[in-house]
Amino acid sequence: MNHQIQSPLKNKWVLITGASCGFGAAAARAFGAEGAKLLLGARRVDRLQKVAIEARKAGAAEAHVHELDVTKTPSVEAFIAWAKSKIQASGRPMPNPARLHVLINNAGGAHGLDTVAEGKDADWEEMIQSNVLGVLRMTRAALPLIPRDAGASIINIGSAAGHTVYEGGAAYCAAKAGELQITRTLRHELFGAGIRVGTVDPGLAETEFSLVRFKGDAARAKKLYEGTHPLTAADVAEILVWVASRPPHVNIDELIVKPVDQAEVGKVYRRTKTQPD
């Protein structure tokens, strides 16, 4: 963004779920650099606090954090009540709560890579709870805070996995395909409301995603990125800022972004290191 011209996101409220690491943390820093006011949620509050410090250093007008578990309706409702109070407090003497300019539904991830025959209930339930029901819960709760006809955006984080399938990916692919259909449904339901709705769907990106999928097996997670050049969290965050700062009449409906070295989810080019003689 050319900072000689004031960013359209300056002093705008931006709510990011899953902001404790990965895309969400990078988005907090990137929206912070635009001068936005941030409301950051995730389960690990200590990590959120560090991200908020970085975002303020980057230029955030404000950065607040609160515990959030998108798999639980009471947690989502408590988070939104807190968000509303922060927005109102900064709006005095006109405490209009409907000033949430950007909602980024990012919290989620994959758990396990088992075939359906070997699948674990706990993994399936976690993936559907966070990636699908979490987006529904957050959006339902946040909608009253989002202004009509003001260039506000709901941006969901889907995945290239929502557009394809791979062995061991049944529940994750289903969850991200579900997120895509929620985004499309919201486009219909918010027709005429002047609220933008879109999905940003990344391919292979190096974050804590694989560490979570492989339940803390760092060697297995690292192997996934070996010899190739995956997306970084900053690459995705830059796109989120771009999507949210288009002119108010422009809606980026669906955006798929993959590394050059990834033609398909399971087709990744690996540049083998030259071995010394």
Q: Does 76 bind ligand NAP (CB under 6 A)?
A: no
Residues 95-154 that bind ligand NAP (CB under 6 A): 106-109, 130-131
Using the minimum distance from each CB to ligand NAP, give the nearer residue, 60 or 233: 233
Q: Does 44 bind ligand NAP (CB under 6 A)?
A: yes
Q: Of 3-11, 43-51, 142-150, 248-256, which part binds ligand NAP (CB under 6 A)? A: 43-51
Q: Which helix (H) or strand (E) holds 26?
A: helix 22-33
Taking the C-alpha atoms of residue 178 and residue 189, their distance in angstroms, rounded to an integer, is 16
Omega before residue 93 within 30° of 0, cis? yes
Of 136, 155, 143, residue with least CA distance to 239: 155
User: Could you tell me if 176 and 158 are in contact, meaning their C-beta atoms sit under 8 angstroms apart?
Assistant: yes
Using the minimum distance from each CB to ligand NAP, give the nearer residue, 13 or 172: 172
Using the minimum distance from each CB to ligand NAP, give the nearer residue, 195 or 268: 268
Residues 161-200 that bind ligand NAP (CB under 6 A): none
User: Could you tell me if 262 and 268 are in contact, meaning their C-beta atoms sit under 8 angstroms apart?
Assistant: yes
Count the site residues for ligand NAP by CB under 6 A.
32
Kindly name the residue from 166, 172, 225, 269 that is annotated as catalytic: 172
Residues 195-254 that bind ligand NAP (CB under 6 A): 202, 204-205, 207-209, 212, 233
Q: Which of 28, 87, 157, 237 binds ligand NAP (CB under 6 A)?
A: 157
Using the minimum distance from each CB to ligand NAP, give the nearer residue, 34 or 69: 69
Lookup: tokens for 151: 């260039």
Let me know if 119 is exposed, middle or buried by CB neighbors in 10 A (0-12, 13-18, 19+).
middle
Q: Which of 9, 15, 21, 55 binds ligand NAP (CB under 6 A)?
A: 21
Using the minimum distance from each CB to ligand NAP, give the nearer residue, 156 or 245: 156
How much helix, strand and coil, in percent to the nearest 5, is found in the chain? 45, 15, 40
Asked about 166 being catalytic, the answer comes back as no
Q: Report the residue number whose CB is nearest to ligand NAP.
A: 22
Number of other residues whose CB lies within 10 A of the CB of residue 201: 22
Of 162, 22, 26, 138, residue with least CA distance to 83: 138
Residues at the interface with ligand NAP (CB under 6 A): 17-24, 42-44, 47, 68-71, 106-109, 130-131, 157, 159, 202, 204-205, 207-209, 212, 233
